[in-house]
Amino acid sequence: MATLMLQGMTRKDSAHISPSAHYTGFVWFRHGLSEPAFASDFGRFAHRVLAPISWAAKRAFGLDIERFLLQRHLLIDARLVQAIEQGGVTQVVEIACGLSPRGRRMRKRFPHITYVEADLPDMAASKRELLRVQGWLGAQHRVEAVDILAEEGPLSLASLFAGLDRTKPVVVITEGLLNYFERPVVERFWRALAAQLRGFSQATYLTELYPDLTEHPRYRQLRWGVWLIGKLTRGGYPLHYQSEAAIADAGKECGFREVRVLDPDRQPAELNLPRGELASLVRIVEARL
> Residues 25-57: pLDDT tens digits?
888 899 899 999 998 888 888 888 877 777 766
Gap between the Cα atoms of 65 and 63, Å rounded: 6
Q: Give residues with Cβ within 8 angstroms of 154, minimum separation 6.
A: 1, 145
- State residue 17's pLDDT score: 40
Structural contact between residues 44 and 70, judged by C-beta atoms closer than 8 angstroms: no
Q: Residues 244-288: pLDDT tens digits?
A: 999 999 999 999 999 999 999 888 887 888 776 666 778 999 999
One-letter amino acid for residue 211 of the chain = P
Q: Residue 8's CB: how many other CB atoms inside 10 A?
A: 7
- State residue 12's pLDDT score: 40
Sign for the CA dihedral angle at 246, 260, 167, 150 comes to positive
- State residue 60's pLDDT score: 62
Phi, psi (degrees; rounded to nearest 5) at 74: -70, -35
Which pTM was predicted? Answer: 0.87
- State residue 217's pLDDT score: 60
Gap between the Cα atoms of 248 and 287, Å rounded: 8
- State residue 10's pLDDT score: 41
Give the residue among 157, 238, 167 at the shortest CA–CA distance from 190.
Answer: 157
Structural contact between residues 183 and 153, judged by C-beta atoms closer than 8 angstroms: no
**What is 187-241 written as a DSSP string?**
HHHHHHHHHHHTTSSSEEEEEEE----TTSTTHHHHHHHHHHHHHHTTS------
- State residue 4's pLDDT score: 35
One-letter amino acid for residue 46 of the chain = A
Residues in the chain predicted with pLDDT less than 70, given as ranges, are 1-19, 56-63, 213-239, 276-279
Domains and their CATH numbers in the chain = 11-288 (3.40.50.150)
CA neighbours closer than 13 Å in the CB half-sphere of residue 270: 1
Structural contact between residues 274 and 58, judged by C-beta atoms closer than 8 angstroms: no
- State residue 179's pLDDT score: 83
Q: Give residues with Cβ within 8 angstroms of 2, minimum separation 6.
A: 150, 151, 152, 153
Gap between the Cα atoms of 279 and 274, Å rounded: 11
